[in-house]
Amino acid sequence: EKGGFEHFMLKEISEQPRSIADCMRGRLDAKGGRLVLGGLRDYMNKFQNADRIIITACGTSWHAGLVAEYLFEEFARVPVEVEYASEFRYRNPVINSKDFVIAISQSGETADTLAAIELAKEKGATIFGVCNVVGSSIARATHAGSYTHAGPEIGVASTKAFTAQISVLSMMALMLGYQRGTLPESTYMQLLSELESIPAKVEKALKLNNQIEKIAAQYKDASNFLYLGRGYNFPVALEGALKLKEISYIHAEGYPAAEMKHGPIALIDEEMPVVFIATQDSSYEKVVSNIQEVKARKGKIIAVVTEGDQTVKKMADHVIEIPMAHEAFVPLISVVPLQQLSYHIAVMRGCNVDQPRNLAKSVTVE
Ligand code: F6R
């Protein structure tokens, strides 16, 4: 049932071109300029007129929420707050009927996320679910929702569910921007085709697997890792670090690259591998200077860059070249080599990648 793969995790990583396409199938038609999310139909008014979007989730799903914050703010100019469900539910948060709450959950069973939904519901907010498991508790507790259609995710470390969540949230952001008039028609049309082109680019990125396996072999004995990115790639840095720690048990931290100089830079020496997500986007130049800062302190640099990059190649110990895409959709591609890196390191360390210690696929207790 692993389809010829050694582990579910690698199978699920490799399925992403298809799972992202499945998520967009029947919803996104770039040529026809159409975007339809059935679940949103009855709530489009609430969504469009919301004063604020609150996103609540845990773990990897919370990282998808962070990507969505950038998407919604950029395309739809609506304020967004991304909340850990466990903090949100106990904080006596300010919520009202003009808030549109999006709860993200692969399993649809996460206890804290479910409790956050109940709380926001009591306060009169509209709750929209982005779940993978059909008929799950969260899917039933929300007013409406869109499934991610990634198919069953067996590996405990979430991979294809994450990219499917971002796909749904990207479609929602584009719809909202178009409806609110913050995205001009021509930009909207262009973004639709950019999004539609992502599965083919993920397919191409997957071909880097052998190169990444070789990098993994060089760093498998490291005790620490740092992951750094800015803008849309900041949540990807967090996700890369989470993937590594949960399956390989190597301590890893993700940071916005510019925060490095406020503390973590003290950790850098020749023993410290630093993974940069340094694709060609609006923060590229800034990331390049952050890379120089690490290089000056002899950190080992593994950089995910855009194909054809020349600048970072001269500074990094390893470059992983991924296809060019619109910066808003780059996380769907840039996360893939990080998933593969953590996978290979964990396998080489003899870890049980599909069922890491102390972790469960759905966290039904708080
Ligand atoms: C990480 C991971 C967890 C989950 C988190 C939320 O790989 O799997 O961090 O993302 O427990 O789970 P869901 O999305 O099912 O609510």
What are 45-62's pLDDT values in tens digits? 999 999 999 999 999 999
Q: Is 159 in the pocket of ligand 1 (CB under 6 A)?
A: no
Q: Is 355 in the pocket of ligand 1 (CB under 6 A)?
A: no
CA distance 193 to 271: 43
Task: Work out the pLDDT band at 365, boundaries 50, 70, 90.
Answer: confident
Q: Cα(15) to centroid of ligand 1, in Å?
A: 18
Q: What is the pLDDT at residue 108? A: 98
Q: What is the pLDDT at residue 364? A: 87
3-state SS of the chain is CCCCCCCHHHHHHHCHHHHHHHHHCCCEECCCCEECCHHHHHHHHHHHCCCEEEEEECHHHHHHHHHHHHHHHHHHCCCEEEEEHHHHCCCCCCCCCCEEEEEEECCCCCHHHHHHHHHHHHCCCEEEEEECCCCCHHHHHCCEEEECCCCCCCCCCCCHHHHHHHHHHHHHHHHHHHHHCCCCHHHHHHHHHHHHCHHHHHHHHHCCHHHHHHHHHHHCCCCEEEEEECHHHHHHHHHHHHHHHHHHCCEEEEEEHHHHHHCHHHHCCCCCEEEEEECCCCCHHHHHHHHHHHHHCCCEEEEEEECCCCCHHHCCCEEEEECCCCHHHCHHHHHHHHHHHHHHHHHHCCCCCCCCCCCCCCCCCC
- 144, 167, 119: which is closest to 331 by C-alpha? 167
Q: Cα(126) to centroid of ligand 1, in Å?
A: 23
Q: Which of 61, 62, 338, 353 to mutate to test the pocket of ligand 1 (most atoms within 8 A of CB)?
A: 61
Q: Cα(156) to centroid of ligand 1, in Å?
A: 8
Q: What is the pLDDT at residue 1? A: 85
Question: Of ligand 1's atoms, which has the minimum distance to the CA of residue 57?
Answer: 16
pLDDT at 69 over 90: yes
Specify the range with the lowest mean pLDDT, choosing from 133-147, 216-230, 349-363.
349-363
Q: Which of 8, 55, 58 to mutate to test the pocket of ligand 1 (most atoms within 8 A of CB)?
A: 58
Q: Is 246 in the pocket of ligand 1 (CB under 6 A)?
A: yes
Q: Cα(227) to centroid of ligand 1, in Å?
A: 19
Task: Work out the pLDDT band at 362, boundaries 50, 70, 90.
Answer: confident
Provide the pairing of β-strand 144-147 with 126-131: parallel
Q: Cα(208) to centroid of ligand 1, in Å?
A: 26
Q: pTM score, two decimals?
A: 0.98
Question: Of ligand 1's atoms, which has the minimum distance to the CA of residue 159?
Answer: 7
Mean pLDDT of all residues in the chain? 97
Q: Is 56 in the pocket of ligand 1 (CB under 6 A)?
A: no
Q: Is 112 in the pocket of ligand 1 (CB under 6 A)?
A: no
Q: Is 110 in the pocket of ligand 1 (CB under 6 A)?
A: yes
**What is the share, in percent, of the chain residues with pLDDT greater than 70?**
100
Question: Of ligand 1's atoms, which has the minimum distance to the CA of residue 113?
Answer: 16
CA distance 100 to 124: 10
The question of whether 11 is a catalytic residue gets the answer no
**What is the share, in percent, of the chain residues with pLDDT greater than 90?**
97
Q: Cα(46) to centroid of ligand 1, in Å?
A: 28
Q: Which of 86, 158, 249 to mutate to test the pocket of ligand 1 (most atoms within 8 A of CB)?
A: 158
Give the tens place of pLDDT for each residue, 136-155. 999 999 999 999 999 999 99
pLDDT at 195 over 90: yes
> Which residue, judged by its Cα, is nearest atom 9 of ligand 1?
59
Taking phi first (over 0 means left), then psi (-120 to 50 degrees means alpha), and beta for anything else, what does residue 108 get?
A: left
Q: Is 363 in the pocket of ligand 1 (CB under 6 A)?
A: yes
Give the tens place of pLDDT for each residue, 11-33. 999 999 999 999 999 999 999 99
Provide the pairing of β-strand 34-35 with 224-229: unpaired
The answer to ipTM > 0.85 is yes
